[in-house]
Amino acid sequence: MHRRIVFEEPVSRAARWSRRLAWFGLAVLILAILAFRMNGPSEQGLAPIVGAYGLVLLALLMAIVAFVRIWQAGHRGVGMAAQAFVLTLLMLAPAAYGGFKLATLPALNDISTDIDDAPTFSRSQVALAARDGRVPPDVPAERRRVQRQAYPKALPIVLELPAEVAFEIARRAAMGLGWTVLESSRPGGRTGAGRIEAVARTRVLRFADDITIRVRPRADGSRIDMRSASRIGGHDFGTNAARIAAFAAEIELLVEAR
């Protein structure tokens, strides 16, 4: 009786390494994000996250090399390479989305519903302490005009309600969206306007953005203006305009619920 000898093709080393690098890159990315959130957002703190994405890109490259080697030499390991390929694409998806916004949106980091007379931020001790002493600078008129072209729906909110009622609705909307309200002053006094100072944080990286809301009385009701400014970076990737839109939607829901 003759034994039949079966020679199995070797497993692609590139496939093995692509899967190892993909999972290692995922672990490093999660740890880098957790460290960034715990230590407080900063531009320097982004370096480990960028490094983690370097590992992810290397894993993707290794997966592509593995596919080529498997096709050419008939090696095994297509499942490992496919797992690494899918995992790296999932991790790269948020970065790709951010890159798309970076390429398609203007470099703005301070958005206001009033481009002619934007609300100013409070300089009280409470507000300055929450912002680490920072006061968002005034934005030149030409940058505000760029904002209007990029985000035409970032407009004042006009309500047929007294300023006192509009102020309370605005404060509830800010709290309902999860923002930290630092201080507030009701309409009245010398200017007649009410004001709400708040801080909002992004979901994943917990970037802190500063918010000021102004409520002014009108003959036929009231007008609410909002300004949202990012603390880090010169490009907000559309975050501040999206926050203003969410605030307007929350106001609408609260008005309808009255």
Averaged pLDDT, 237-256: 95
pLDDT, one tens digit per residue, over 13-52 is: 889 999 999 999 999 999 999 998 888 777 788 899 999 9
Q: Is the pLDDT of residue 6 over 50?
A: no
Q: How far is CA 59 from CA 52, 77, 90, 181, in A?
A: 11, 15, 12, 43
Stated pTM of the model: 0.84
pLDDT-based confidence at residue 201 (cuts at 50, 70, 90): very high
How is residue 89 written in tokens?
Answer: 């694409």
Domain-wise residue ranges, the chain: 13-104, 110-256
Q: Which fold has domain 110-256?
A: TATA-Binding Protein (3.30.310)
Range from 20-24, 34-38, 65-69, 90-94 carrying the lowest mean pLDDT: 34-38
Q: Above pLDDT 70, what percent of the chain?
A: 97
Q: Is the pLDDT of residue 65 over 90?
A: yes
Beta-carbon contacts of 198 under 8 Å, excluding residues fewer than 6 positions away, are 174, 179, 180, 181, 182, 210, 211, 212, 213
Residue 184, pLDDT score: 93
Q: Is the pLDDT of residue 7 over 70?
A: no
Most confidently modeled of 65-69, 191-195, 225-229? 225-229
Distance separating alpha carbons of residues 104 and 166, to the nearest angstrom: 35
Q: Is the pLDDT of residue 8 over 60?
A: no
Q: Above pLDDT 90, what percent of the chain?
A: 72
Residue 74, pLDDT score: 78
Tell which residue, 144, 118, 145, 140, has the closest CA to residue 210: 118
Residue 73, pLDDT score: 80
Beta-carbon contacts of 23 under 8 Å, excluding residues fewer than 6 positions away, are 87
User: Which residues are registered as beta bridge partners of 51?
Assistant: none
**Cβ contact 92:53 at 8 Å:** yes
Q: Is the pLDDT of residue 253 over 80?
A: yes
> Mean pLDDT of all residues in the chain?
90
What is the gyration radius of the CA atoms in the chain, in angstroms? 26
Q: Which residue has the tokens 């797992």?
A: 83
DSSP 11: B
Q: Would you report the helix, strand and coil content of the chain in percent, each value rounded to 5?
A: 50, 15, 30
pLDDT, one tens digit per residue, over 101-110 is: 999 999 999 9
Beta-carbon contacts of 224 under 8 Å, excluding residues fewer than 6 positions away, are 113, 156, 157, 158, 159, 166, 170, 213, 214, 215, 216, 251
